[in-house]
Structure 1
Amino acid sequence: MECFQNVTDVPGIKVGNEEDSIGYTGCTVLIMEKGVVCGVDVRGAAPGTRETDLLHPLNLVEQVHGICLAGGSAYGLDAASGVMKFLEDKRIGLDVGVGVVPIVPSAVLFDLPVGDPSARPDREMGYQAASNAKRGHFPLGNSGAGCGATVGKVAGHHRAMKGGLGSASLILPSGLIVGAIVAVNAIGEIRNPETGEVIAGARDDQGNIRSSLEWMIEQPEFPLAAGTNTTIGVVACNAKLTKSQASKVASMAHDGLARTIYPVHTMYDGDTIFSLATGDMSASVDLIGTIAGDVLAQAVIQAIMNAEGIKNFPSSKDVKKSLWKGREQ
């Protein structure tokens, strides 16, 4: 098995970011010009989504042309309209006889307490992110939908740390490629599944990361409003899948969140994962789903490790540096 960098290693996918680095919000757009099969699995209890009903296997439309991941809570759903306009300008979408209708499912995360709460992804930002879409390298961490993302909010936003945007991919000897992209904005802490180390989470008064479970036991009611978090992402492969099979892959991919985020899928999260199938090669759903969970977990870790600290929200790197300085003293 050979490791690659990001979700654009899967053929047929371009990624573009756009963000407001003053207001701390942004959006990440995936463009699939030829149209691809898409499924979805929503696990969090407070999701903000658009066009997810269309992805049900019983419903008509078989392909999507873009995915929009955005901050701004429900306001951020407006960014998908800009993605639609970009695709329409390129004559990409479902042919309805009198024109095309681009199909762009979307999911949003809550980043309003970070930076300027009136700064939200809008139609213009969505259009620009789509215009920026390309294959190959793109920035992670504080970019796109990860711009205002934070994690470790079980004890309130004032104890949280910086989340971000992450991506990873893997290629098998058979030629199967599975990739993932994720904006990590969880109420829970982030754990490295390979070492068990907690790399980001809720901080105590000394600035040290403290177990989420300890906070939860001490304060059974979270000091947050429902829906004020959410991790959103996409897994993709170059295999041929039906909508129901793609949805099963999305379901299995959520295992990657469970391996890295604790707690996950809470009443305060709207965790949503889309699944794309861009190719024609044959591979079992179980294999694709298993790899998707691994790749999504790696993308979560990449989001945290690439994040940069901002005012009131230190990054994992910041906390580690502080810890080493304390030991040296």
Structure 2
Amino acid sequence: MRDLGVRVGHWTGEHTGCTVLVFERATVASGEVRGGAPASREFELLDPTRANAGIDAVLLTGGSAFGLAAADGVMRWLAEHGRGVPTPGGLVPIVPTLGLYDLDGSGNTPESEQGYEACDAAMAPFEPALDGPVGAGRGATVGQWRGVTLPSGLRSATVTAGRLQVHVLAAVNAFGEPGPIDRGLLRPEGFASGSFGRNTTIGVVVTNARLDKVACALTAQGAHDGLAKAISPVHTRMDGDAFVAAATGEVEASVDVVRALAVEAVAEAVGTP
């Protein structure tokens, strides 16, 4: 994503981690939540009716709601580097943060220092791995809907139409799993595992299109449509599925085309076993 002015960095622990996307400049963005049990911070600012005009970074983190504390470190790093909204009291970086549930009982969750380390890692001279059990995907799993726990992780994809690019990075921690649902396993009384709120697929769509916040919101909706193409069952009450969509503004493009590409990019990324 560096050709779009976006740097990605991870902090990866033993069972959890976090991933930050740092934008070269304040970037227009919006988002949408469709799952029943989200963990988030500063997400309300993404509403097109809110005054905020741009974000400085997005943080994807493990640790459930505890992991949202890693955003403190991201904010501190950004402020030290002169980023944020100017206020009488100093710069205030804008960092929408999405958390997923990967708690293992050890009490180890991403904290402020880990968010700061992820930002340092984003400045490394090489592009980090964007797929596998790294960063926010370290403790991600899928399959609990049928009573199993399968390893998952970060997933990424890029789709294009001429000069238009749409990139997606998602931490796939779904109650469901990639592929069509096996209807023979469904029972009226409920799923094989009904642990409330222990999952969530979270992600970021970045495009080089020139979009406003409303168009970014529509693109985030497309990301969820792509998730619905890839994961079964999807958007359950056990999930907190959420996507942020950000537009860096280099290419004039129809929002309908951008949204269509977002659907395909998420389906391609998340649908990879």
User: Same fold by TM-score, threshold 0.5 exceeded?
Assistant: yes
- Report the CA distance between 1:219 and its aligned residue: 5.0
Is the aligned partner of 1:278 residue 2:220?
no
Helix, strand or coil at the partner of 2:246: strand
Q: Could you tell me which residue of structure 1 aligns to residue 115 of structure 2? A: 126
Using the alignment, how far apart are the partners of 1:223 and 1:237 within structure 2? 37
In the alignment, which of 85, 94, 112 is matched to residue 103 of structure 2? 112
Is the aligned partner of 1:236 residue 2:206?
yes
Q: Is the 8 A contact 1:10 1:238 kept in 2?
A: no
Taking the TM superposition and a 5 Å limit, the aligned residue runs for 1:1-329 are 8=1, 11-21=4-14, 24-113=15-104, 116-134=105-123, 137-139=127-129, 140-156=131-147, 159-173=148-162, 175-191=163-179, 212-217=182-187, 220-302=190-272, 304=273
Using the alignment, how far apart are the partners of 2:195 and 2:229 within structure 1? 25
Taking structure 1 as reference, are residues 238 and 10 closer, same or farther at Cα in structure 2, changes over 3 Å only? farther
Using the alignment, how far apart are the partners of 1:26 and 1:190 within structure 2? 22
Q: Is the 8 A contact 1:11 1:279 kept in 2?
A: no
- Report the CA distance between 1:214 and its aligned residue: 3.1
Q: Is the 8 A contact 1:185 1:229 kept in 2?
A: yes
Aligned residues with identical type, % of pairs: 41
Q: Is the 8 A contact 2:159 2:264 kept in 1?
A: no
Q: Is the 8 A contact 1:239 1:283 kept in 2?
A: yes
Q: Spell out, residue by residue over 1:63-99, the C-alpha distance to the aligned partner (whole angstroms, 9 max, x if none).
A: 0001000111110111111110110110111111442
Taking structure 1 as reference, are residues 161 and 218 closer, same or farther at Cα in structure 2, changes over 3 Å only? farther
Q: Is the 8 A contact 1:9 1:136 kept in 2?
A: no
**Would you tell me which structure has more strand in proportion to its own residues?**
2
Helix, strand or coil at the partner of 1:68: strand
- Report the CA distance between 1:223 and its aligned residue: 2.8
Q: Which amino acid aligns with 1:187?
A: F
Using the alignment, how far apart are the partners of 1:286 and 1:237 within structure 2? 13
- Report the CA distance between 1:136 and its aligned residue: 6.0
Using the alignment, how far apart are the partners of 2:221 and 2:262 within structure 1? 10
Q: Spell out, residue by residue over 1:258-283, the C-alpha distance to the aligned partner (whole angstroms, 9 max, x if none).
A: 11100000010000010000123210
Using the alignment, how far apart are the partners of 2:185 and 2:175 within structure 1? 12
Using the alignment, how far apart are the partners of 1:30 and 1:183 within structure 2? 13
- Report the CA distance between 1:160 and its aligned residue: 1.2
- Structure label with greater radius of gyration: 1
Aligned residues: 271
Taking structure 1 as reference, are residues 241 and 136 closer, same or farther at Cα in structure 2, changes over 3 Å only? farther
Q: Which amino acid aligns with 1:224?
A: G
Name the stretch that deviates more: 127-136 or 266-275.
127-136
Q: Which amino acid aligns with 1:119?
A: N
Using the alignment, how far apart are the partners of 1:267 and 1:145 within structure 2? 21
Q: Is the 8 A contact 1:141 1:164 kept in 2?
A: yes
Structure 2 unaligned residues grouped into runs of 5+: none
With the length of structure 2 as denominator, give the TM-score of the two structures: 0.94
